[in-house]
Amino acid sequence: MKAKMNVPNLSQVKSFFLSLQDQICQQLEQIDGNSTFQEECWQREEGGGGRSRVLTAGNIFEQAGVNFSHVMGASLPGSATAHRPELAGRSYQAMGVSLVIHPLNPYIPTSHANVRFFIAEKEGETPVWWFGGGFDLTPYYGFKEDAIHWHTVAKTVCQPYGDDIYPKYKQWCDDYFFIKHRNEPRGIGGLFYDDLNSPDFDTCFNFTQAVGNGFLSAYLPIVERRKDMAWGDRERQFQLYRRGRYVEFNLVWDRGTLFGLQSGGRTESILMSMPPLVRWEYGYYPEPGSPEDALYSLFLIKKDWI
């Protein structure tokens, strides 16, 4: 029986991330049918670089960004050591794929996914490494069947790794993607995990591959189901208003955004998660009993969907 490997294979991880970016971009272009991803390859002065791909003005996707980056530096930024102070002063490498999709039709949810790998090293000491990632869904108009499908795929991804994995990472997602200053969830959640380095490298890498590969299985059926629904200015205005919550979370609370900016990352790539159009409205409350009100009362709540 082959022993599980616990020495990180960075080239293997990088190869998977690059192929995942290719696969996701290809399938999003195919379903959109109009626009294609424009690619920019970039280098970072301190070390590393990446390739950023953004699709705009599509039939279905108003904007979609799918980024790969592999960066390195002499010491980890504060956002990465805030909860791991023992890593301060170590050199590091960070790589991953991050994507955010903002559809045009308000009945299609916005979605985010991310898979990443960190390794921090210091001469004479054992390297410290971990995986992180997940995917989450942010509807504007909620549909129970979409929420059930999304979480069913999430649970299926986790099942081979233990009965406790889905509930644990669902809860972590609910807790992480919570807009504290609004006291509301960003969406209906999904999976979120970080600092994953046990039981061994192979298992953690296999799980991360399952999460990355599972994203399209969770998202595309929802896109297909909603893409031909008619919508007008009312739905559009509510969508733009709710996109404001997405911006607030990313700029105030998201650790990935902070890490990218603090580590001297490429600002355009980091902020590609921002929606192309958004609005704020002072003191807005949806009309009781309206479809907009249903988002708050039925979907933006912590709930077991399956």
* Residues belonging to the active site: 112
Is residue 151 a known part of a binding site? yes
The answer to whether 236 is annotated as binding is no
Is 53 marked as binding a ligand?
no
Residue given tokens 């296999």 in the structure block: 206
3-state secondary structure of 100: strand
Does 78 carry a binding-site annotation?
no
Residue whose C-alpha is closest to residue 242's, from 135, 174, 147, 140: 140
Q: Establish whether 266 is an annotated binding residue.
A: yes
Strand, helix or coil at 237? helix
DSSP reduced 3-state for 63: strand
Q: Is 112 annotated as a binding residue?
A: yes
Alpha-carbon gap, residue 158 to 198, rounded angstroms: 15
Neighbours of 73 (CB within 10 A): 17
Query: Do the annotations mark residue 102 as ligand-binding?
Result: yes
The answer to whether residues 27 and 53 touch, using CB atoms and an 8 Å cutoff, is no
Asked if 27 and 220 count as a contact pair (C-beta separation under 8 A), the reply is yes
Rounded CA separation 270/276 (Å): 14
Flag whether 44 is marked binding. Answer: no
Q: What are the backbone dihedrals phi and psi of residue 257, each rounded to the nearest 5 degrees, phi first?
A: -65, -45
Name the token pair of 303.
């709930």
Give the residue carrying structure tokens 């990935």: 256
Collapse the DSSP code of 193 into the 3-class scheme (helix H, G, I; strand E, B; otherwise coil) and give the result. Answer: strand
Q: Is 70 annotated as a binding residue?
A: no
Instruction: State the binding site for a divalent metal cation.
Output: 102, 112, 151, 181
Binding residues for substrate: 98, 114-116, 264-266
- As annotated, the binding site includes 98, 102, 112, 114-116, 151, 181, 264-266
